[in-house]
Structure 1
Amino acid sequence: MADDVDAWMAKYENPQKPLVEAVRQVVLKADKRMTETIKWQAPTFVYKGNLASFYPKSKAHVSLMFHTGAQIPGDFPSLQGTGDVSRVMKFLDAADLKLKAAELGRLVRAWCDLRDRG
């Protein structure tokens, strides 16, 4: 985990903070190639480019925006959006994260594999 993200999390005040931290752990544990930093004033996951950033102002759920989610190969039914570029995955609560954790892990590994290929 990155010190800058730890510092950001320490100051982050939002009712969804525990869920943001739980999602963060799932992403970081999914693939050892994944790292994190602060970009756009939010925790951002990176490996040979930006994978996803949290939308930190959301209070009703945790929203993770995949910058080029439409281009990640594989079937990820929890990704929302229809545009040519980005996708969003939302987590309503800990139970919802538990249901989506395996899919999120597959998505992270697919991103890392894609970045290694090209």
Structure 2
Amino acid sequence: MEDMAGRRSPEVDAWFATYDNPQKPLVQAVRDAVLASDDRVTETIKWQAPTFVFEGNIASFYPKARKHVSLMFHQGASLPDPAGLLEGEGDTSRVAKFADADDLAAKVDALQGLVRAWVEART
């Protein structure tokens, strides 16, 4: 994956420095995958968690999940999801879950497709 160092937020880096969770390496890998989706996507801390943004909030981590990584897409119900990555039944949000590095590798194209769909709809 390309180097994301130039697009990483110092605020999010500081958050990760104090993040104590067995899934931390996987959360970092999901972070890299989202940032690699489109160079217009940025990150910040909202709701005490890393949040990806472009013309609005795209997705936020559930930082307390310890058995997998959960990334909540704030408007996930409105995104095309041909791979069926997103879970949930609500009117608005949906969640993508990643069990381990192999699971992320299998789902990375679908994850990046969701982020690109968000960006495309807002450009």
- Same structural fold, with TM-score higher than 0.5 when normalized by the shorter chain: yes
Counterpart AA for 2:11: D
Shift of residue 74, structure 1, vs aligned partner: 4.5
Counterpart AA for 2:114: L
Asked if 2 retains the 8 angstrom alpha-carbon contact of 1:74 and 1:110, the reply is: no
- The change in CA–CA distance for 1:74 and 1:95 in structure 2 (over 3 A counts) is closer
Asked if 1:103 corresponds to 2:110, the answer is yes
Paired position in structure 2 for 1:112: 119
Paired position in structure 2 for 1:61: 68
Asked if 1:90 corresponds to 2:97, the answer is yes
Q: Deviations over 1:43-90 (max 9, x none)?
A: 000000000000000100000000010011342401001111000000
Using structure 1 for the length normalisation, give the TM-score. 0.95
Paired position in structure 1 for 2:43: 36
2:122 match: secondary structure? helix
Q: Using the alignment, how far apart are the partners of 1:50 and 1:89 within structure 2?
A: 15
Pick aligned residue for 1:75 from 82, 98, 106: 82
- The change in CA–CA distance for 1:113 and 1:9 in structure 2 (over 3 A counts) is same
Asked if 1 retains the 8 angstrom alpha-carbon contact of 2:81 and 2:110, the reply is: no
Using structure 2 for the length normalisation, give the TM-score. 0.92
Counterpart AA for 1:96: D
Pick aligned residue for 2:18 from 11, 16, 32: 11
Shift of residue 16, structure 1, vs aligned partner: 0.3
2:13 match: secondary structure? helix
Runs of 4+ in 1 over 3 A off after TM superposition: none
Gaps of 5+ in 2: 1-7
